[in-house]
Amino acid sequence: MIITLFCIGLCILAFILKNVYYKINNIELGDICLISEFIAGMIGGIGTFICIIIIILTHAGKTVQIEQNQIEYESLCDRLEIINSDYEDVSKATVIADIAEWNSGVTSAKYWGNNPWTNWFYSKEVIDKLQYIEINK
């Protein structure tokens, strides 16, 4: 959120500097104002464009992402049940590593989804549906 608002703020600053440039009669100060306007406008415009694209892509496919996460979660839970049973079809180390990777991804998504700098880049619905898998040794 803060990154997006910062980029929008740079666009607003560029607009303000453009209006100030036309009111300044000093050539040196006007040149500084013009250069600052260009830099703020370019960084703010490109940054805002990228942020909006990421936000749209993140929130557009949330239903699919929720379903994919649920399938992966259930698959890992099934594999965990297999290694906890008497069957030795699956390597325990591989399953535990995959579950650790899943839990790490859940932790990361929940952290960045609740961080005020980046929370607009994560769908709250997707993050709320994520669940940790407990490993019973």
67, 40 contact by CB (below 8 A):
no
Q: Cα torsion at 69, 74, 80, 86 (round to 10°)?
A: -160
* CA pair distance 56, 60, nearest whole angstrom: 6
Q: What is the pTM of this model?
A: 0.63
- Tell me, letter by letter, the H, E, C secondary structure of 62-116: HHHHHHHHHHHHHHHHHHHHHHHCCCCCCCHHHHHHHHHHHHHHHHHHHHHHHCC
For 12-44, the pLDDT digits (tens) are: 998 888 877 777 766 667 777 788 889 999 999
The full set of domain ranges for the chain reads 2-58, 61-129
Span 85-125, pLDDT tens digits = 766 655 777 777 888 888 888 888 888 888 888 888 888 88
Q: Which two tokens stand for residue 40?
A: 């703020």
Q: How long, in residues, is the chain? A: 137
pLDDT at residue 7, rounded to an integer = 92
Q: For 122-130, what is the mean pLDDT?
A: 87
Read off the pLDDT of residues 54-82 as tens digits, 9 standing for 90 and up: 888 888 877 778 888 888 888 888 777 77
The CA-based angle 109-111-115, given to 5 degrees, is 115
